[in-house]
Amino acid sequence: MKIDKITLSEFLALQPQPGQQTETSAFYLDIANKLLMAIAGSEAGRWLHPSLYKQLALCVTGYYMDVVADGGVWRSFITACRNLYGKTLPFYEIPEDYEEFELNAVDVRFMVWYFIAMSDNTHRVLNPLDDKVDRLASELYQLLDEEYDEAPIAEDFSFIRELDFNDPGDLEELYRLGLWLFLYCYLMTPAFALTMHDIISEPAMQANPDNEAIALRFDQSMQEDTTGPLAYLMRDWLKLIVEGKMPEKAQQKSDIPQSDPHPYWVKVKAAYPDKDILYFATYEQLNHFFIDVIGWEKGERHLDNLSDSSNFAVMVNRDKGMLVAKDVAQCIADPTNPYYNKEDAAKHAFELLTVRGRCPADLLERIRHNDWLPDAVWPGSDEATGRKLVADNFDFIARCYLQTYYRGD
């Protein structure tokens, strides 16, 4: 199969200064095409769909340029992982010869897994320990390592850490940097791909697909939606990359006691003083709860769109009110849950961490806090390894796959 080379315009479109050719552009375009040939021309990469070859090569090239220049994007990710999890990378053991903020084989391995899992629905739950990932990453790393000592610093990346949030003269550049990070940066775009698809598929976008409407919608998304492997808002990524400051934990509305508790919370607490999560096997049980406890109108089928579902979890919050999740109770190992089914949980629990909308964020956070998802196994591993992989990386998996569905309020 003939593979077209990456063109200069394709390469330049993804750089921090889009379209601007620099003295190092030719060198890194050559690197990108060498990676492309390595992916397309070896057994290690042939399990991928050819449509991914160029994108993967450009993604890994972006990582390489950033590391050579110490532009701050990769550094910020490593720093945040250590702050959040006490380890350098999710999933992988870090070898003793690991070099801080330099080219490392394990970093390339993570990037290969991350790009493929986020970009290809066929491999959406690709196991990060899969031998195919390791073999492909090893080939790409060897190619990069051969050139590393002589690789020039890319000016496009080196300017990033020179910006200053307190300098009014840098505000325009900071906005441009945020736009590039959000739409083109190698570390952000894989995780944002599904969100971007959802935005483009919105009825309003389909009805009015002109450039101005698209630009406005993506500008809104840049302010409101999380992105990148850690599901931070863009303003938080900018602070982390430019200033090295970890995002402050925002005080959610639900963390601030309101003067009056939500009426749904009051009613559930009156009926079940020791509970704020309830479980129902059938829609009929759920509907009786709405009528008998919440006080909704008798004789009606409330939330009838749920009537074909089962295994409900209902969670109340003093200030937020009530959430209802369907098809989850069988997976939740809450000691008070009579509908937990270990066999069903082994088949479906992992979906709660990887399928957007499958489990509401507040409920998933409670599950994580209480270790109520012990049966979640990453497909492609033996049971013990797969369970440990999920348990050790629960929060990261949810952030990376679910994005705003996990991190949003």
Structure tokens, 45: 């990469």
Long-range pairs for 51-55: beta carbons < 8 A, 24 or more residues apart = 52/115, 52/116, 52/119, 52/120, 53/3, 54/6, 54/10, 55/115, 55/119
Please return the burial class of 93, using the count of CB atoms within 10 Å of its CB with bins 0-12, 13-18 and 19+.
exposed
Same domain, 16 and 83: yes
Q: Per residue of the chain (409 residues), what is the pLDDT tens digit?
A: 688 999 999 999 999 988 889 999 999 999 999 999 999 988 888 899 999 999 999 999 999 999 999 999 999 999 999 999 999 999 999 999 999 999 999 999 999 999 999 999 999 999 999 999 999 999 999 999 999 999 999 988 888 878 888 889 889 889 999 999 999 999 999 998 888 878 777 787 777 777 777 778 888 888 899 999 999 999 999 999 999 889 877 555 545 556 799 999 999 999 999 999 999 999 999 999 999 999 999 999 999 999 999 999 999 999 999 999 999 999 999 999 999 999 999 999 999 999 999 999 999 999 999 999 999 999 988 999 999 999 999 999 999 999 999 986 5
Matching residue, tokens 């009606």: 300
Same domain, 130 and 33: yes
Same domain, 112 and 257: no
Same domain, 34 and 113: yes
Question: What does pTM read for this prediction?
Answer: 0.93
Same domain, 284 and 348: yes
Instruction: Give the 3-state secondary structure of residue 366.
Output: helix
Same domain, 217 and 106: yes
Matching residue, tokens 């590393």: 148
The dihedral through the CA atoms of 407, 181, 116, 388 has a sign that is negative
Same domain, 262 and 238: no
Give the count of beta carbons closer than 10 Å to the beta carbon of residue 212: 8
Domain count, the chain: 2
Same domain, 332 and 194: no
Rounded distance between C-alpha atoms, residue 319 and residue 317, angstroms: 6
User: Which residue, 248, 279, 311, sits at the end of a domain?
Assistant: 248
CA neighbor of 33 nearest in space, from 126, 181, 138, 143: 143
Same domain, 236 and 310: no
User: Which residue, 248, 280, 315, sits at the end of a domain?
Assistant: 248
- The domain in which residue 134 lies consists of 1-248
Same domain, 204 and 62: yes
